Structure 1
Amino acid sequence: MTAPPRGADLLARALRRAGVETVFSLSGNHVMPVYDALYTEKLGLVHTRHEGAAVHMADAHARLTGRVAVALVTGGPGHANAVSALYTAYMSESPVVLLSGHAPLNQLGRGAFQEMDQVAMARPVVKQAWAASDPAAIAQDFARACRLALSGRPGPVHLSLPTDVLEAPAAGAALPDAAEFQARPMPLSGDAAHDLLARLRQARRPLILAGPQGLTDSGRRAVQRLQDACGMPVIATESPRGGNDPALGAFAPLLAQADCVLLLGKRLDFTLGFGKAPAFADGCVFLQADADEDEFRRSTEAVGDRLRARARSDFHSAAAALADAAAVGGSRRMEADWPERVRSGIAYRPEAWRQAVAATAAGAADAAKPAPLHPAALCAAVQPLLDSHPDAVLVVDGGEFGQWAQACLHAPHRVINGAAGAIGAALPMAIGAKHVYPDAPVVALMGDGTFGFHCAELDTALRCRAPILCVVGNDARWNAEYQIQLRSYGAGRAIGCELLPSRYDRVAAAFGGHGEHVDKAADLPAALARAAQSGLPACVNVALDGLPAPVVRRPS
């Protein structure tokens, strides 16, 4: 007689029905029943070296695919390690589901092994969190988690899995229909779309600002369609620096000239100076289409009656409805050169950067002279790798070097650390990206501080055959914090930001990967080529000039 399925078996079957093919995980006592069930269902398993890395991998996978990605960790300290990484996913609106093992329900309050209130710990950095309580309902729990993660403003969801729920029989339980795992659209009505568009058309310098959803693959297509339809600038941003994001060139002064701004799934938060000067003109008015009612309250608190109209809708539904409404046509007062001014401002990069690249190339002939590279010159050497494949992925972390990379590099697909501003995610994110685009180059640029967070995941990359390429800009310090100290306190009071000029390339080689060390500009192109062609997880460790992050200002 066949034994009835356990809660863990139903969960694994639900994962398959949801379309999950790979689970990013670090093992532990509490989740062994799930591992056993994954084996039966033949689902892929990427076994990491740190729980936070598993979440970062799932985060990158979710952003690139637009589908739910799953991280699975054990309870107690394993769960605690994973939670900090959820904040990066939360601020980037990434549909990650974190499944955490949990102490048995029948032992709670009695000092169970690794017992803690995991739901309360996760709640501040997820859309919702709860613990499963019934083995027969665990598939429905997972379907609900997927649906919540994808619906409205996407974001992470947490589900704790008590071991007795995983191990208990769940005879007679049925799997949810496939539709139960999908997003619930929140459409924007035609009347609301026409009203928002009519208000924008009365402006001289209108802007539509989208949040992180506008920079996913599907989001970029939605942004382009809307811009083509309405003729107004539509700008997406996911940086904590907002309008001062170096990837947006000299956009900040143009943002301050806007007289009407539609926030399309974009929070009016610190990244936009809370809607006040100097980020915006005092007379600028705002419109808002958002899935979260609470965002309207926050916007009203920030700008008062300058919030002139609001409508509830998810980003994709609103963008589509606005594009459809724009197709009808209508008169507008927009200054004729406004779209081109915005476009050219975003495209602008200082001539000094090109001169630095040229000077580096000219000096490269002196191969006997080691010298730290200018960040723009390092990026110029990396760009051909990203141009070599139609699905190349650029992964960039934070920090000063990360800002240079975001400003100087472009690729068909991009993942950054996002508005959270937390560093350390780039290496595991690159592994997650490689599982989405296994045949394309995945290049992760990071500082030496970042590399130290998750360098052991090079072992994970080797085991799961993910030949990512890490380019480490090594300036031997925590440069972002060092630059703050210089600005705020002076060079004489800089303290605690020094690192060693360590040979991170040798770390990669010790794990079985490929390592290259570069301290002369002439050696960089060949080192990058060897690393890319090695077929192994690789680290190119580059001696970098520790410059502050770029601030792009166009000459007046």
Structure 2
Amino acid sequence: MTATIRGADLVARALDRAGLRTIFTLSGNHIMPVFDAALGTGLDLIHTRHEAAAVHMADAFARLTGQCGIALVTGGAGHTNAVAALCTAQAADSPLVLLSGHAGLRELGRGAFQELAQAEMAAPVTKASWTAASAATLAHDIARAVRIALSGRPGPVHVSLPVDLLEESLEDVPGLWPDAAAFAPAVQPLGAFAADAALAAMRAAARPLILAGPMLCHTPQLGLLDDLRGVLGVPVLAMESPRGINDPGLGAFAEVLARADLLVLLGKPHDFTIRFTEAPAVDPACRLVVLDPDPALIARAARERGERLVLGALADAAPAARELCARAGAPFGDAAWRHEVADAVAYRPPEWAGVASQRGVHPAAMCRAVAGVLERHPGAALICDGGEIGQWGQSLASARRRVINGVAGSIGAGVPFAIAARRADPSAPVVAIMGDGAFGFHVMEFDTALRCGLPMVVVVGNDACWNAEHQIQLRSYGAERTHGCTLLPTRYDAIVAALGGHGELVEREADLAPALERALASGKPACVNVMIEGLPAPVVRRPR
């Protein structure tokens, strides 16, 4: 006699068999069959306090591990909460699958509980979005979604799971189950001809720059960028910040970008982050090579730059990098240009080393203290989130394992990011730098961290202000027209301590380092609440 199986069992076991066992979720009516089906599998449900947090955690987990992140939420309002977080993952080229419960197919059009056009709602911020149509194909839906998320330009995919399909019983036959290959990404190689053409363009240039997009900024891909630098001898810069050429983490990059005579966009969109390669940010004679898995982005560059685009080739970014290395031969980049770029990117104003503030801790001092922690704890992960304070963090603190808010420019994901980073590597410390405005979005996820035993340290730069917007008001309208951006100087440390975590209040620079070490040593989710002076984010330029 053939055994029977529920649709929910197909979903849970398909994820388990694919090795996608960390599931960031929040319970709700439509997905309770999946929760039940998770029993007896290897799935680990990290259950959150908000659906957007579950998506942010899946996003960070994917960027740090290279696996496809999985978020599971209920339908209706649970789905709408989750969709808002997808734009951050989309802009970061982060592969994840959002599985949302859904009203039963038999009740659609009849006023079903929480009936919404969920797939259509998620479509603009995903690579693909659909509603499962049959219980028998649920496992195949999961495999297809993972494959799409990982292929080409990585990104989020959504599948809605009607509750009646999850509850349906059917015979457990081999055809229900996809094989391992069904989950694997489709690979689009660069090819020898295009690789040689790109290398020839770089050899012919005096000052070439390779700009890598967000997909190559994920932790598992950073070694490829190291390989490109070493094998080609050409400067390679990773771009994943919404500040673009003014990303203070890239130092005085804008100066050398303006001198480049060839830009190789390796999985890097031609967009606002490089000022659309318009003068004066980019030399009007600078030529472009675009290597990208998305034909629409190659077409965009061709439309924007015409004959200046000397090569556009369809290819996945990582295989393209490997192909360039394999066919390059001896390094050919100019050493003087390479050193000029390295010096510009490494530059930080020397006065930052001794800055002090009379109105709270200077943001540079706060971030230098975090940098010291990271130096003492190799392998630690760094999270940067927030408007102005996040930029100070990116400029002064660094770690190989890093997640920032990304090109979308959204804020507030820092606490979920930090939890996911600890789950990705439970043995390594996690330190997040956040603004007080950003911190408020998901403070209750400290409850998640406590329940799941995932300690991290969140350093809040507290200037009692939505400072990024306040700075816009100051620049654009004047000090007399600033309003609507003030917050309270809240004791966020006390909130975290009340939840059962560790809290530290810092009002003097001298107290920073000891407070950070106590927070790490506590072994708890911790908040170090630093009262800072509200200053604009740095824009790094060298004196002339």
Q: Secondary structure at the match of 1:311?
A: strand
Does residue 142 in structure 1 map to residue 142 in structure 2?
A: yes
Amino acid at match of 2:261: D
CA distance in 1, matches of 2:243, 2:170: 50
Q: 1:195-241, CA deviations, whole angstroms, 9 ceiling, x for partnerless residues?
A: 11001111111111110122122221001101111111111110111
Q: Secondary structure at the match of 1:14?
A: helix
Q: Secondary structure at the match of 1:157?
A: strand
Amino acid at match of 2:483: I
Q: Secondary structure at the match of 2:407?
A: helix
Amino acid at match of 2:314: R
CA distance in 2, matches of 1:170, 1:292: 39
After alignment, is 421-430 or 380-389 more displaced? 380-389
2:399 to 401, 408, 411: 411
Corresponding residue for 2:472? Answer: 484
CA distance in 2, matches of 1:528, 1:208: 37
Corresponding residue for 1:178? Answer: 180
CA distance in 2, matches of 1:36, 1:336: 61
Corresponding residue for 2:516? Answer: 528
Amino acid at match of 1:132: A
Corresponding residue for 1:379? Answer: 367
Does residue 545 in structure 1 map to residue 544 in structure 2?
A: no
Corresponding residue for 2:105? Answer: 105
Corresponding residue for 2:196? Answer: 194
After alignment, is 26-35 or 379-388 more displaced? 379-388
Corresponding residue for 1:402? Answer: 390
On the 8 A contact 1:150/1:182 being kept in 2, the answer is: yes
On the 8 A contact 1:31/1:101 being kept in 2, the answer is: yes
Corresponding residue for 1:213? Answer: 215
Q: Secondary structure at the match of 1:418?
A: coil
Q: Secondary structure at the match of 1:445?
A: strand
Q: 1:417-473, CA deviations, whole angstroms, 9 ceiling, x for partnerless residues?
A: 000000000001100110011111100110000111000000000000011101000
Q: 1:106-144, CA deviations, whole angstroms, 9 ceiling, x for partnerless residues?
A: 111111000000011100111000111111111111001
CA distance in 2, matches of 1:505, 1:398: 18
TM-score normalised by structure 2 residue count = 0.98
Corresponding residue for 2:27? Answer: 27
Amino acid at match of 1:202: A
CA distance in 1, matches of 2:12, 2:458: 33
After alignment, is 61-70 or 385-394 more displaced? 385-394
Corresponding residue for 1:235? Answer: 237
Amino acid at match of 2:348: R
On the 8 A contact 1:371/1:519 being kept in 2, the answer is: no
Q: Secondary structure at the match of 1:542?
A: strand
Kindly tell me the number of residue pairs found equivalent between the two proteins: 542
Amino acid at match of 1:426: G
Alignment of 1:265-344 (within 5 A): 265-327=267-329, 329=330, 335-344=334-343
Q: 1:53-109, CA deviations, whole angstroms, 9 ceiling, x for partnerless residues?
A: 000111110000011010000001100000011100000000110000000011111
Corresponding residue for 1:351? Answer: 350
On the 8 A contact 2:386/2:437 being kept in 1, the answer is: no
1:474 to 462, 469, 472: 462
Amino acid at match of 1:501: P
Does residue 253 in structure 1 map to residue 255 in structure 2?
A: yes
CA distance in 1, matches of 2:185, 2:377: 32
CA distance in 1, matches of 2:67, 2:42: 20
Q: 1:265-307, CA deviations, whole angstroms, 9 ceiling, x for partnerless residues?
A: 0000111111211221111110111001111111122212211
Corresponding residue for 1:446? Answer: 434
Corresponding residue for 1:96? Answer: 96
After alignment, is 378-387 or 501-510 more displaced? 378-387
Corresponding residue for 1:47? Answer: 47
After alignment, is 474-483 or 517-526 more displaced? 517-526
On the 8 A contact 2:129/2:158 being kept in 1, the answer is: yes
Q: Secondary structure at the match of 2:45?
A: strand
On the 8 A contact 1:241/1:271 being kept in 2, the answer is: yes
Alignment of 1:107-146 (within 5 A): 107-146=107-146
After alignment, is 154-163 or 521-530 more displaced? 521-530
On the 8 A contact 1:385/1:441 being kept in 2, the answer is: no
After alignment, is 123-132 or 40-49 more displaced? 40-49
CA distance in 1, matches of 2:43, 2:470: 45
Corresponding residue for 1:365? Answer: none
CA distance in 1, matches of 2:392, 2:336: 29
Taking every aligned residue pair, what percent have the same amino acid on both sides?
56
Instruction: Tell me how far 1:373 sits from its aligned partner.
Output: 0.7
On the 8 A contact 1:390/1:412 being kept in 2, the answer is: no
On the 8 A contact 1:371/1:520 being kept in 2, the answer is: no
Corresponding residue for 1:495? Answer: 483
Corresponding residue for 1:263? Answer: 265
On the 8 A contact 2:261/2:287 being kept in 1, the answer is: yes
Instruction: Tell me how far 1:248 sits from its aligned partner.
Output: 0.1
On the 8 A contact 2:233/2:335 being kept in 1, the answer is: no
Amino acid at match of 2:324: L
Amino acid at match of 2:146: C
Instruction: Tell me how far 1:389 sits from its aligned partner.
Output: 2.9
Q: 1:508-538, CA deviations, whole angstroms, 9 ceiling, x for partnerless residues?
A: 0111111111111222121111111111110
On the 8 A contact 2:446/2:525 being kept in 1, the answer is: yes
Q: 1:330-354, CA deviations, whole angstroms, 9 ceiling, x for partnerless residues?
A: 8x6x654100000110000001101
CA distance in 1, matches of 2:39, 2:366: 44
CA distance in 2, matches of 1:179, 1:235: 33
CA distance in 2, matches of 1:388, 1:185: 39
Alignment of 1:361-372 (within 5 A): 371-372=359-360
Instruction: Tell me how far 1:17 sits from its aligned partner.
Output: 1.6
Q: Which runs of 5+ in 1 are unaligned?
A: 361-369
Q: Which runs of 5+ in 2 are unaligned?
A: none
On the 8 A contact 2:436/2:462 being kept in 1, the answer is: yes
Amino acid at match of 1:27: S
Q: Secondary structure at the match of 2:432?
A: strand
Amino acid at match of 1:244: N
After alignment, is 342-351 or 522-531 more displaced? 522-531
Closer/same/farther in 2, CA of residues 42 and 206 from structure 1, 3 Å limit: closer
On the 8 A contact 1:104/1:164 being kept in 2, the answer is: yes
On the 8 A contact 1:276/1:303 being kept in 2, the answer is: no
Q: 1:377-422, CA deviations, whole angstroms, 9 ceiling, x for partnerless residues?
A: 1111112321233320000113100000000001131000000000
Closer/same/farther in 2, CA of residues 6 and 190 from structure 1, 3 Å limit: same
CA distance in 2, matches of 1:11, 1:302: 44
CA distance in 2, matches of 1:456, 1:322: 46
Corresponding residue for 1:72? Answer: 72
For the aligned residue pairs, the C-alpha RMSD in angstroms reads: 1.3
2:493 to 494, 498, 505: 505
1:434 to 402, 422, 444: 422
CA distance in 2, matches of 1:105, 1:388: 55
TM-score normalised by structure 1 residue count = 0.96
Q: 1:295-336, CA deviations, whole angstroms, 9 ceiling, x for partnerless residues?
A: 111112221221111111101110000011112x48x6x654
Amino acid at match of 2:437: G
